[in-house]
Amino acid sequence: DAGVIQSPRHEVTEMGQEVTLRCKPISGHNSLFWYRQTMMRGLELLIYFNNNVPIDDSGMPEDRFSAKMPNASFSTLKIQPSEPRDSAVYFCASRSEQETQYFGPGTRLLVL
């Protein structure tokens, strides 16, 4: 398996623009997680899905952030409108029951 795939790997955008980050989990995994990593706050869980259903979105910072998982092989994290403070590395991870999480390489987002 290719592991967790994220795209794009790097994104530079201007404040106010919409940003969409994409994730393809490992085939057969039924849980998917979105994290954000910054120097100040470290690694934080934003939201996670189990069997395509959002279970805990308490980490989503505000209404500008939304996440979807339309099927078992694809998820998106959208920021609209983006702000400079959203600049961070966004990781997607997936796992199957009772096993460890496997992380993708991350998307490095810079909002100017």
Partner 1 sequence: KQEVTQIPAALSVPEGENLVLNCSFTDSAIYNLQWFRQDPGKGLTSLLLIQSSQREQTSGRLNASLDKSSGRSTLYIAASQPGDSATYLCAVILFTGKLIFGQGTTLQVKP
Fill in the DSSP letter of residue 64.
T
20 is a contact residue toward partner 1 (CB under 8 A): no
Does the protein bind partner 1 through residue 105 (CB under 8 A)? Answer: yes
Q: According to CB under 8 A, which one of 14, 18, 56, 83 is a site residue for partner 1? A: 56
Pick the binder of partner 1 from 62, 63, 70, 100 (CB under 8 A): 100
Structure tokens at 4: 């967790």
What per-residue string of b and e applies to 81-92 under the rule 16 or more CB within 10 Å gives b? ebeeebbbebbb
Instruction: Give yes or no for residue 25 binding partner 1 (CB under 8 A).
Output: no
90 binds partner 1 (CB under 8 A): no
Binds partner 1 (CB under 8 A): choice among 5, 7, 20, 45:
45
The site for partner 1, by CB under 8 A, has a size of 21
Closest CA to 78 of 62, 93, 94: 62
Which position among 65, 94, 106, 111 is part of the footprint of partner 1 (CB under 8 A)? 106
Does position 42 bind partner 1 by CB under 8 A? Answer: yes
Q: Is the dihedral of CA 16, 64, 30, 58 positive or negative?
A: positive
Q: Does 55 bind partner 1 (CB under 8 A)?
A: yes
Tell me the sheet residues that pair with 37.
Answer: 43, 89
The residue type at 9: R
Scanning the structure block, which residue is given the tokens 């998982």?
69
